[in-house]
Amino acid sequence: MLRAVLWDLDGTLVDSAESHFESWVHALRAEGRTITRDQFEATFGQRNDRILEGWLGRDATPDLARRIAEAKETAYRRFVRERRPDALPGASDWLAQMHTLGWKQAIASSAPRLNVEVVLDVLGWSGYFDAIVAAEDVRAGKPDPEVFLTAAARLGVPPAQCIVVEDAAAGIEAARRGGMRSIGVGAPAREAGPDLAVPSLTALTLEMWQRLA
């Protein structure tokens, strides 16, 4: 029986928050605007259009939002190349082990595809994934299940045979709506009621994966 794991990227596999925050600050400063860290943390993991709509309010014209978003993502990719984000504890080990065990693996992220690709390239993870679903591939962001359902379809694995790994409550809800089991990593995900909650990926065991599958 085919089995698949659908991984969120930012905050689940890689510690990229600081690079995202600095790139937002950089892009907004060029337009004479600022954000606080609290504002950033409240929106981390969402799609850019939704983030900017909240931050800019009535000033969120399509041209301004596009300009800020493009500047932000360009800066982010540069920071990733220059600084190499840290893989979160256990991430590399589980990607390698699930690959060896024959599980299909996909990235299901709200980030732009170029961002996903540069992170996977820098960390040497590109060969582990059979599919990548990014912001450009879906119309609705999490908690809508579209990103996970699209990933499952590209892998050719039924949703009921997929396990989602997420650090955000919206991602856990998206998995539930998509008919998939979920592993919540960290406190925000645990509060959303995943099928299995762990403090970090290092707390997982193969028995836990098998029980969920």
- Boundaries of every domain in the chain: 4-15+86-212, 17-83
- The string of pLDDT tens digits covering residues 145-155 is 999 999 999 99
Calpha distance 103→209 (Å, rounded): 11
Determine how β-strand 4-7 pairs with β-strand 162-166. parallel
Calpha distance 181→200 (Å, rounded): 17
Q: Is residue 8 flagged as an active site residue?
A: yes
Tell me the three state secondary structure of residue 34.
coil
Give the per-residue pLDDT at 48: 86
Span 70-89, average pLDDT: 94
Give the per-residue pLDDT at 70: 94
Are 166 and 8 in contact by the 8 Å Cβ rule? The answer is: yes
Annotated catalytic residue within 10, 59, 93, 167: 10
Q: Is 205 left (phi over 0), alpha (psi -120 to 50) or beta?
A: beta
pTM reported for the whole predicted model? 0.88
Same fold, 4-15+86-212 and 17-83: no
- The string of pLDDT tens digits covering residues 147-194 is 999 999 999 999 999 999 999 999 999 999 999 999 999 999 999 999
CATH number assigned to the domain covering 17-83: 1.10.150
**pLDDT band, very low/low/confident/very high, at 39 (cuts 50, 70, 90):** very high
Residue 78 tokens read as 């540069």
Calpha distance 65→44 (Å, rounded): 17
Give the per-residue pLDDT at 49: 84
Calpha distance 39→109 (Å, rounded): 20
User: Residue 71: what are its φ and ψ, rounded to 5°?
Assistant: -65, -40
Angle, alpha carbons 199-200-206 (nearest 5°): 110
In sequence order, which residues have a C-beta less than 8 Å from that of residue 165 and are 6 or more positions away?
A: 5, 6, 7, 8, 12, 182, 183, 185, 201
Residue 203 tokens read as 């707390």
Q: Is 32 left (phi over 0), alpha (psi -120 to 50) or beta?
A: left
Calpha distance 207→213 (Å, rounded): 10
Tell me the three state secondary structure of residue 179.
coil
Q: Superfamily for 4-15+86-212?
A: HAD superfamily/HAD-like (3.40.50.1000)
